[in-house]
Structure 1
Amino acid sequence: MRIGSYEFRPGFVPTLAVVLVLPLLTALGFWQLDRAKETQAYLDSLHAGRQAAAINLNTTEPEYSVAQHRIATARGRYDSTHQFLLDNQVYKGRVGYHVLTPLRLSDVGAAVLVDRGWVAAPFDRKVLPDVGVPETERGVSGVIDKGPSVAVRLGRAYVGQGDWPQRIGYVDFSYIAQALPYRVTPYLIRLDPDAGDGFVRVPPKPAMGPEKNLGYAAQWFAMATAVVIIYFLVNLKRRVNDN
């Protein structure tokens, strides 16, 4: 292709490199744009949950899509016999568990899991921490959530040996519903920081703002643009006058 006194003559190797690299850089840019939308939606949900009226789980059981991140109150009795220890939860550099205790709701016939917080794991991993709690009737409050996250979900949720409390690798409400002898809601309450009968309350890590995702997207698109410009300049040759 001729452009004035220059001729564009791309070689095979640089063309192949561009064909391989350019789609990747572009895809990473659009991925960051999608992440920005997801992050903004999450932050909007957090804000909406804080502004919404509290939910009384003794009188209503909304879908998670309606209840997520809202304050919830519940009255009932903890089931100290059937508790779950969410494994591999790190706090200040130490491995431990999040203690998930069913609260059997008064006059309802169902239960909701309560994340009572983080507790350190004994150095002997065969020994489980003492997470017993009185089963007297009480009221609890906290934020409705899906539970603490884990890096990777591999295999089945249950990683224990058949005894209670059960050690689980991740929160799987389908498994939890099968393990308990009563109905349980498909979400949990993250116990208030100042509530009793809990352990270390670890708030969820704040989401990275969407502006950072947009910044990363701009970087990927800028790199893609630079690749195109470099490819064009490297393969643009001055025409030799044959006369």
Structure 2
Amino acid sequence: MQSSNNANGSNTEYCEKQYPNTFQLTPNWKLSVFAVLFLPLFISLGFWQLNRADEKQEFLDAFNHQQQLPAMSLGEYVAIKEPQPYRQLTLQGKYDQQRYWLLENQVQQGRQGYRVIVPLSAVDGEAYKTVLVDLMWVMAPPRREQLPQVTIPKTARISGYLKQPGDNPLLTYLPETDSWPQRVVELDIDAMADQLGVEVLPGVLHQQQGVAPVNTTPEKHQGYAWQWFAMAIALAMATLIANTNITSLLRKHSNNASTHVNSL
């Protein structure tokens, strides 16, 4: 009996050493340094994605509002003398069939191609303006030195909205040659107007009515945000487990509970 008691006492002491009753720190410096560096980053990226979602939603609300307004003629647009981004315009005039741009690296349905940007000399009564029109997408030839064959209509009556080209700091508007058509990787409204020698309306006219020009929806940004937050939570939990004896306390609590159940 005494030996049994001694054995029980030894087991108790062993358990207490293995699974102490009090919360203790067990520093893991490598993981702690990693957490200090990356935990704030993950959280900030999550909030940044939420801010992007709010910005996209505000943009979509403004875009949808403009799209619901009646389309304006060129004369009405010019008379306002203020930019009306994403407001529907109805224009008629003549295309410049010789001078146009091929904006490369434009993928559509998994195929590489170009957006064809053509100047339109729009006329509405006494109002006369040149408008850069995103006319169409064309598939790129197999060899890059080849340019696609494009048929530009002579006249047109079109509707669309003006949109400013994206500003990518890694890309520069720089035509490869002085001959037309000109292949470019980026659009620059001012530089294109200088090449034409005329004043143009601010932006490029897109003919996709009702289609919001966004690559990522607010819902996707929110999804990305929660992914960053989930990574932050996982890192915080891993850091807590690696730097404390919390798992030992939980294991001891589980063992005590099992012993209590077995004794019943």
- How far is the alpha carbon of 1:155 from its aligned partner? 4.7
Summarize the Cα distance change of 1:53–1:162 in structure 2 as closer, same or farther, 3 Å threshold: same
The 5 Å alignment of 1:30-179 reads 30-61=47-78, 66-106=83-123, 107-136=126-155, 138-147=156-165, 154-179=170-195
TM-score, length basis structure 1: 0.77
Q: Which residue of 2 aligns with 1:12?
A: 29
Distance in 1, Cα, partners of 2:239 & 2:143: 59
Percent sequence identity over matched residues? 35
Residue 215 of structure 1, aligned match among 203, 209, 223: 223
> Could you tell me how far apart the structure 1 residues matched to 2:142 and 2:32 are?
57
* Structure 2 stretches lacking a partner, 5+ long: 1-20, 247-264
Matched AA of 1:222? A
102-111 or 170-179: bigger deviation? 102-111
How far the C-alpha of 1:108 sits from its partner, in A, is: 3.2
Q: CA deviation at 1:33?
A: 1.0
TM-score (structure 2 length as normaliser): 0.72
What's the counterpart of residue 44 of structure 2? 27
Alignment partners' CA distance in 2, 1:192 and 1:18 = 47
Displacement of 1:91 in angstroms is 2.4
Q: Does the aligned pair in 1 maintain the 2:28–2:242 contact within 8 Å? A: no
Once the two structures are superposed, residues 141-198 of structure 1 have per-residue CA deviations (whole angstroms, 9 ceiling, x without a partner) of 1232235x69x664531332110111111121121121111111121211368xxxxx
Q: Is the 8 A contact 1:58 1:75 kept in 2?
A: no
The Cα RMSD (Å) is 2.9
Cα distance in 2 for partners of 1:212, 1:109 equals 42
Aligned to 1:228: 236
Higher strand share: 1
Q: Deviations over 1:28-57 (max 9, x none)?
A: 211211221122123213311221221222
Q: Do the aligned partners of 2:162 and 2:202 also contact (CA within 8 Å) in 1? A: no
SS at match of 1:127: coil
List gaps (5 residues or longer) in structure 1: 194-202, 239-243
